[in-house]
Structure 1
Amino acid sequence: MVNVLQPGRRGIGGPPQGYAEPVPLGFVKPRSIRHVPRSVHPRSPREVPMTVQPVASSAPAPSKLGLGGVVMVIYFAVAGGAFGIEGLVGSSAPGMALILVLLTPFIWSIPTVLMVTELATAMPVEGGYYVWVKRALGRFWGFCQGWTAWLYGVVIAASFAALFRDYTSSFLNLAFGIDILDRNAFLGWLVAVALIIFFARLNIRGAKAVGDSSKLFAVMVFVPFIVMFVIAAAKWIANPLPFWLPATPPETGLFGAFGLGLFVVMYNYLGWDGISTVLEEIKNPLKVIPKAMLIALPLVILGYLLPVVAGLIGGTDWKAWGDTAGFPELASAVGGRALGIWVALGGMFCAMGLFNAMVLSNSRLPFVFAADRYLPQRYVERHPVYGTPFRSIVLVSVVYAVLAFGAFDLLLVTTVLLYGVSLILQFIALIVLRVRAPEMVRPFRIPGGLPFVIFLALLPATIIVLAVRGTVLEEGAQFLTLAGALLLSGPVAYFVLSALFKRGAPDTLGHEVTVHEVAVQEVTGRPLPGE
């Protein structure tokens, strides 16, 4: 995922097409679908009752994502290319940067992937993590988690629109010597707004259109980096120098170098839960989600590792990475000006893919908030042709356009902290459901029992604490004020919106959907409860 601190540089378907074979990684088909109970979720006295009332709509079912589309949406929700990782090398030195790129997935990404896969296949409903936390912890915490995730997504999506403007300017500079976007802030904002309008229209056409376009963007991002790596590898074979040295910056110890780059690499590895908000817009989610995660994880790691190695082999001073040396400049050092222009063009497609995926994920949160009556009911309305929540898409796009004019200097630390709080609530929901709903059918179940699940939850929680501590020691605690204010806005919004719109009304989304009910749908074509 792009680091915005480096200026150059998240319903509803119909019947399936046919019977889907069981998921190889743990899916168990009911012995007799005719005798499956309608719900196997036990209720505890503290659990919020969820009604099973469909959202009234005569709109058609939206298009659905297949495996390839889901993989690419996950990829762009998390990474979208190596753009933005440059600052990691500049702050932590080559050796520590490579260690962080390889180590962080094991303590930050893999626990999240496992958590999302278990909950997504147990409760494959629109709204994803919002519904999971509400199911486990109640309406208040469900809303606060969804609100925090929405805030993070809104700010990051706006930064991606601004990033497209920056990479467009970089491309025009490299290719034609044109720097008008650097000199005219309003014109640069219009470029960002044009991107927002284009992808708002694309998202209104449905998740499949987003997935198909993401495949194209991925090719445009991957190919120049692959060429860059091949050229760099050939140079290194001819002259094998230790590109991984120095291991740490001068006069900086291992722990200091680790802390300097931790927030950067955490930022570039977050977003695995973004796909959950559109689970009902995925074909056979029980089968697709585990496979897609299994494919996307190594793709993301290699997408960072190979370009970083190629750039280090190019011989550019690592201290300049992230300041004056982004990947277009690094590619020029490796393969000449033409390759630099090609990589800059790839950066534009990277920003497109990042923004596209974030609109898809983020726009479904106002939709489910409105369905649960925290927002006006007009935001539940779906497009008469495409079946998508078009008013919610327009709403978030307007917010993006306003924010795209701003600066994002404090975003990296603040957004990682917001995301971390949202993520911890999801892990708490996972643990609570393991305890309070042991009979819940889980097509994919994290092995090792409850102790291992708790251990997995502690890994990202620990790394968040370490990252916050390291940042406070190095840069002070100013960022905590902004992060704290944004986090407190969740409870405030909950009570204000409950008083204005909900007024004690029952939820209309967030119904309990079990694996057995999905299996019934796959075999019989009957709609799920709430459809």
Structure 2
Amino acid sequence: MQDPLSYPISQDLLEKQKQHQEDQEPPKSLTKKNKSQRLGLLPLIFLIYFHVSGGPYGQEPVVGAAGPFFAILGFIAFPIFWSAPEALITAELSTAFPNNGGFVIWAHTAFGPFWGYLMGSWKFLSGVINLASFPGLCIGYVESVAPGLVSSTLTRFSVVFFSTSILSLMNFTGLHVVAYASIPLAIISLFPFLVLSCVAIPQIDPSKWMVVNQVGRNKEWKRFFNSLLWNLNCWDSVSTLVGEIKNPKKTIPKALVSSMGFTSLAYLIPLLTSIGAISMDLDDWIDGYYAVIAEDIAGPWLKRWIKLGSVISGCGLFQAQLSTCSYQLQGMADLGILPQIFGKRSSYFDTPWVGIVFSTFVGLSVSALRLEDMRVSVNFLYSMGMLLEFGAFLWLRVKFPETHRPFKVPIGLHGLIGMCSIPCVVLLYLIFVAGIGVYLLFFVLSLLGIVLYFVLGILKANMWLEFNNVDNKKITDEDLG
């Protein structure tokens, strides 16, 4: 008897892909929403921005871990050697597989259903833990300017619970609402940094950018790379909701390039001006320190403005991450990996409401973790998923070399291996230095996920839960166009 989850990919999904490539518009069967509500270029740029960054909030530990010179170098080099390869892979595979689910579909098609499911579980867990970190980041900024305001555990959890619940409701109203709301949220949250940078320019001493070390301090490379990755990862998150985008063949590559440039400037400008304008003590560079810098340079009014900006940025980050998680679950249900209920959409808003509720609940469950613990855990799960994603990308080039790819990275296989090798080295380093606690957490979560995979297989085989019916047809290049 064949494993009930052992199909390579559903024939229905392949037919949708071929129709999408021919028409450059999503087939009507994929969604009930009006085409005018599908995402265009501008809102997608800002949605990706919040998938990845949300602004300089949370950037400070990079400076504290390795000093000004390496922090500046990191925010110049990382977009080139990490963000660009991830974005290129996302552009190629998202346009080749224009369906909700993204990286789950890629691993599923390359290596089979088990690896697609494992990719989905790792990325979903990293996403919901990340989801829980954004309210914590906002609380960190509030505490930096108003110590004791949210000091009690009950107060902290109450703030996280109510803010999470209210923000989750916005996701119900539609992805187009979330995406268009990202535009003013990004502008408002970044504006105080523009003011800070302008005020700081006359005080800049460029020699401070070259400070490599501080007496009495050692480099914290583990924290440095974890913080860098946390600030510049998730370029592939947009792939989970490709089915909601207008003409992804053209829109996704343009949006990724534009968002990458915007994100890099949003990090580098305040970093350069702040480092150059203040006295340097690396012990001060922790989450929330930009608010203190603003007060030193301009006064309490800018400190309060940046504090408000951090809350606004946290709202945008939360909304973007929740949309990624919920549409990923919907895509996995479409593939038949998860029960059909995870693909349920609201009859009024046409949003994956079960995925939204489930993601929110899991995010709240881990919200008690410290922000630093969340970053390490997120990065480890994300790193494992990205290693699988790089492998899937390369193997799909070997397995289906003639497949129609509306956007294709214009280099051969050996060049692609070289392009992926540097990010993989960074990922392997972060995995190697993660620590026994993170290893144990990963082992437990992965084991639970694997057990659940086989439990779902039993439930499907006995028809105790409803799954999408799939075709067991093997994929060929002809199937993929």
- Find the aligned partners of 2:452 and 2:400 in 1 and give their Cα distance: 29
Moved more, 386-395 or 367-376: 367-376
Equivalent pair of 1:277/1:364 in contact (CA under 8 Å):
yes
SS in 2 for 1:461: helix
* 1:121-270 → structure 2 map (5 Å cutoff): 121-168=95-142, 173=146, 179-182=148-151, 184-236=152-204, 240-250=205-215, 261-270=224-233
SS in 2 for 1:444: coil
Q: 1:328 Cα shift?
A: 0.6
Equivalent pair of 1:373/1:507 in contact (CA under 8 Å):
yes
Matching residue of 2:395: 432
Q: CA RMSD in A?
A: 3.1
Cα deviation digits, residues 24-82 of structure 1 (max 9, x gap)? xxxxxxxxxxxxxxxxxxxxxx9725231799999832732111111111111111011
Matched letter for residue 207 of structure 1: L
What percentage of aligned pairs have identical amino acids?
27
Equivalent pair of 2:128/2:325 in contact (CA under 8 Å):
yes
Matched letter for residue 74 of structure 1: I
Matched letter for residue 491 of structure 1: I
Matching residue of 1:87: 61
Q: 1:408 Cα shift?
A: 4.0
Equivalences, count: 459
Distance 1:284 1:325, change over 3 A: closer
Equivalent pair of 1:87/1:321 in contact (CA under 8 Å):
no
Distance 1:515 1:439, change over 3 A: closer
Q: TM-score, normalised by structure 1?
A: 0.79
1:349 to 309, 312, 323: 312
Matched letter for residue 221 of structure 1: S
* 1:22-61 → structure 2 map (5 Å cutoff): 48-52=8-12, 60-61=32-33
Q: 1:516 Cα shift?
A: 12
Q: What runs of 5+ residues in structure 1 fail to find an aligned partner?
A: 1-45, 520-531
Cα deviation digits, residues 105-143 of structure 1 (max 9, x gap)? 222111101111110111111111111111111101000
Q: 1:227 Cα shift?
A: 0.7
Cα deviation digits, residues 288-318 of structure 1 (max 9, x gap)? 1010011011111111111112221331433
- Find the aligned partners of 1:461 and 1:507 in 2 and give their Cα distance: 36
Equivalent pair of 2:88/2:409 in contact (CA under 8 Å):
yes
SS in 1 for 2:212: coil
**2:440 is aligned with 1:481:** yes
Equivalent pair of 2:81/2:423 in contact (CA under 8 Å):
yes
Matching residue of 2:22: none
Distance 1:323 1:292, change over 3 A: closer
- Find the aligned partners of 1:161 and 1:512 in 2 and give their Cα distance: 45
Q: What runs of 5+ residues in structure 2 fail to find an aligned partner?
A: 1-5, 17-26
Matching residue of 1:118: 92
**2:70 is aligned with 1:96:** yes
Q: TM-score, normalised by structure 2?
A: 0.87
Equivalent pair of 2:45/2:256 in contact (CA under 8 Å):
yes
Equivalent pair of 2:8/2:473 in contact (CA under 8 Å):
no
- Find the aligned partners of 2:436 and 2:139 in 1 and give their Cα distance: 31
- Find the aligned partners of 1:431 and 1:274 in 2 and give their Cα distance: 19
SS in 1 for 2:166: helix
- Find the aligned partners of 1:358 and 1:509 in 2 and give their Cα distance: 32
- Find the aligned partners of 1:512 and 1:279 in 2 and give their Cα distance: 24
